Amino acid sequence: QVQLQESGPGLVKPSETLSLTCTVSGYSLTSGYYWGWIRQPPGKGLEWIGSIYHSGTTYYNPSLKSRVTISVDTSKNQFSLKVRSVTAADTAVYYCARGEDYPNWFAPWGQGTLVTVSS
């Protein structure tokens, strides 16, 4: 049974870089599927950030593309998210999730991690 778990700092200062890692268990990233990041500001809806294939091919939401990098480390069975030059608007619960294809639905999802941007 595949499981995903996000990890990283819960507090980031404005203008700095937000960095999160998603560790996948129960499934090898090299076996396929696409792996995505989605965020949810407190009390608000869902926004797709981007997705990556195990080969390293990436897809980004154009609204965030200039500030976002997603990478994969198959040796650790992890994929990561970096968001540069963060502001308070980047405060959100960040989820990692699996997509069967791209674009596609997401299942399963990690539990999510709250990242607050504040000085």
Partner 1 sequence: DIVMTQSPDSLAVSLGERATINCKSSQTVLYSSNNKNYLAWYQQKPGQPPKLLIYWASTRESGVPDRFSGSGSGTDFTLTISSLQAEDVAVYYCQQYYTTPQTFGQGTRLEIK
Per-residue interface string for the shown chain with partner 1, residues 19-58, x marking contact by CB under 8 A = --------------------------xxxx----------
Task: Give the integer Cα–Cα distance in Å for 29 and 72.
Answer: 9
Task: Answer whether 101's CB lies under 8 Å from 94's CB.
Answer: no
Task: Give the integer Cα–Cα distance in Å for 91 and 41.
Answer: 6
> Does 112 sit near partner 1 (CB under 8 A)?
yes
Candidates 28, 30, 107, 116; binder of partner 1 (CB under 8 A) is 107
Cβ of residue 119: shortest distance to partner 1, in angstroms?
A: 27
Cβ of residue 75: shortest distance to partner 1, in angstroms?
A: 26
> Does 106 sit near partner 1 (CB under 8 A)?
yes
Say which amino acid occupies 40. Answer: Q
* Strand partners for 25: 3
Task: Answer whether 79's CB lies under 8 Å from 22's CB.
Answer: yes
Instruction: Single out the segment in contact with partner 1 by CB under 8 A; choices: 8-16, 23-31, 77-85, 98-106.
Output: 98-106
Closest residue by Cα to residue 81 from 99, 67, 68: 68
Give residues in contact with partner 1 (CB under 8 A): 45-48, 59, 61-63, 95, 97, 102-112
